[in-house]
Structure 1
C-alpha cells in the first residue's frame, strides 16, 4: 500500500470527481459536485490561499482536505482545515498524512491557530484529540425527507410582503448581497467575520455552481429583500440551505420561515427528494424553524482548534 498526498488539479475531472465522491461518502449532509470542487479551487478569494488536497492509496483518491486562511476574519493568522477520508479506508494513514501536509502549509503562511470541524463520533474525535485539537462549539446537521411529504402547507404572504426568487435579481443582485452581508454578522461562530466585498460575493456566492436561483427565495418589503434563504442543489435530488436570515429591522415577523417554506415547496415540485441544513447548537430560533418545517437531526459536528508551533 502506497499513500501519497498532492494538490487537486482543478481541470482534471478525475480529481474533482474523486474529491466530491469522498466528501459525499464521508459527509453526505453537505453538497459537493465536480463542478463545485473546480469552482472553489479556482475562485476562492486569493487572500485565503486555498489549497485543496487529496490523499491517494495506490493511485485511488481516498481522502480530501480543504486548507485555507480565514481571510475574512477580524482575527489575523487563523487557519482552517477540514479532513475527510472515505469510511471504508479509514484508519490506514490517509488522514494523518493529510493533516501533516495541511498543518505544514498553514504554518508556512504564519497561521498561529487552526480550526477544524470534526464529526461527533468516537473515532473522529479521538483522531483530533490525538493530534492536539481541543473541542469547542458544535453544530447539527438536519435532514428533511421531501419525498415522504414531510412539509407544512404553504402559508399566506403577509400584506406588504412579496416573495421573489433570486433569479428575479439577475440584472442587479446587489440588494441580496447587502442582506447577506448584514445577516452574516449575526451568525454564531468561532470567528468574527468581516463583510466580503461585492466582487468577491459575486464570485463565491452568486456565481457558485451549486446556487439554485429559482429556489433561493427572498421576502421583500417595498421591493427590497429583507429576509431570504439560499438554496444549493446538486442535480441529483439533493438540496441544501446555504444561509437563511432576516434584516435586523424586520425580525420577529416569520419572514425567513416563510421564504424557506416556499423554497422547499418549489424544491419538492422540482423533484428534490432530500433537503439538508445545518445549525449551530446555540441557534435556537433557527433550530425551531427547521423543526417546524419537519427537519430531523441526523448528525453533529464539533469545531476543534489547536495552536500551531
Structure 2
C-alpha cells in the first residue's frame, strides 16, 4: 500500500468532504465549501488543502495555512484528519510532514493543530513534537425532538433581523464580528481588519445561511449575532456567536441563538452542533440551557518548527 500526498483538486471535493464527515462528524461542510476554500484563498494566508491518497482513494486531508488575522508573525496551523478506516497506515504522518515543510517555506515558526482528545491521537501529536495547550468542546443538540426552550422575550429597544437584511451592505456585521472576535479566547490572537478578505471567507462562505443567521440591532447598529452554517443535509453549525461589549449582560447571546435554532427546527433541520472553548463558561452555560450535550473534545497542540 502506497500513500501519496498531493494538492487538492476540485474533482476531490466529494471524497474529501466524506473523509472529514467520517473523521470529525461534528463539523458542517460541503464539497462547494471545499472548492471555494482553495479557489478563493487570500495569497497572504498561504492556504493549502492537501489530500492523502491510497490506491486512488482519498483517505485523508489537511488544512494548512498562516494565521492571517494574527498580529504575531509566523503563526500557522495544520489540521490533519484521516478516515477512521485508514488510520495507522502512514497517511496522517505524511500529511503532517508535508504540511510542516510547506509552512516552513511560507515563513511559519509555530504550527498549531487541533487534535481529538483520544489516546491514539494525542500520542500521534506528542511523538511528533507537539505540546498540548487549551481544550475546546464539540456539543450536539437534537432539533427534531421538540425540546428547545421557549423563545426569550425580546427586550425593549432591541430589534431582531437576519443576515439577509444586510445583503446590500454587510459592513456593519463585519464591524461587529471584528469587535467580538477580538475577545474570543484562544492561543492565537485574532484581529479582523481586512473587509475584502472577510467578504470572501465569512460573508461569502457557501455554508453560511443568511436567513438563519440572526442579528440583534440596538439603536440602528448590530449589537449581537449568531452565524449559522448549514449543509443541506439537515445539519446546522453555530459558526460564531458574539455580543458587543457595550451590550453584554442583557441576554442577547441567548436571544439571537434561540431565534436561530427555532428557525432551524422549523425549517426541518434535525441536529445542531457548536464548539466552545473549555474555559468559556458563559457560553457553555448558554448552550447547556438550550440542551446541548458535549459529544467530543479537541486539544490545541503547538510545535515550534526546527524543534523536535
TM-score range, shorter chain: over 0.9
Q: Do residues 182 (structure 1) and 182 (structure 2) align?
A: no
Aligned to 2:96: 99
Q: Note if contact 1:36-1:208 (Cα within 8 Å) is conserved in structure 2.
A: yes
Q: Tell me by how many angstroms 1:9 deviates.
A: 1.2
From 12, 19, 22, the equivalent of 1:22 is 19
| TM-score, normalised relative to structure 2 | 0.98
Aligned to 1:221: 218
Aligned to 1:7: 7
Q: Note if contact 1:144-1:150 (Cα within 8 Å) is conserved in structure 2.
A: no
Q: Tell me by how many angstroms 1:110 deviates.
A: 2.1
Q: Do residues 53 (structure 1) and 50 (structure 2) align?
A: yes
How large is the Cα RMSD of the aligned pairs?
0.8
What is the correspondence of 1:26-105 to structure 2 with a 5 Å cutoff?
A: 26-105=23-102
Q: Tell me by how many angstroms 1:46 deviates.
A: 1.5
Q: Do residues 122 (structure 1) and 119 (structure 2) align?
A: yes
Structure 1 residues 255-274: Cα deviation after superposition (integer angstroms, max 9, x where no partner): 11100000000000001101
Higher mean displacement: 280-289 or 143-152: 143-152
Q: Do residues 271 (structure 1) and 271 (structure 2) align?
A: no
Structure 1 residues 217-238: Cα deviation after superposition (integer angstroms, max 9, x where no partner): 0011122110000000000000
Aligned to 1:306: 303
Structure 1 residues 194-226: Cα deviation after superposition (integer angstroms, max 9, x where no partner): 223111111111111000000000011122110
Aligned equivalents of 1:259, 1:56: Cα separation in 2: 42
Q: Tell me by how many angstroms 1:44 deviates.
A: 2.5
From 156, 169, 186, the equivalent of 1:172 is 169
From 242, 257, 261, the equivalent of 1:260 is 257
Number of residues paired by the alignment?
306
From 149, 153, 157, the equivalent of 1:156 is 153
Structure 1's unaligned 5+ residue stretches are: none
Aligned equivalents of 2:217, 2:62: Cα separation in 1: 39
Aligned equivalents of 2:99, 2:141: Cα separation in 1: 34
Q: Tell me by how many angstroms 1:78 deviates.
A: 1.1
Q: Tell me by how many angstroms 1:109 deviates.
A: 1.4
Q: Tell me by how many angstroms 1:148 deviates.
A: 1.5
SS at match of 1:92: coil
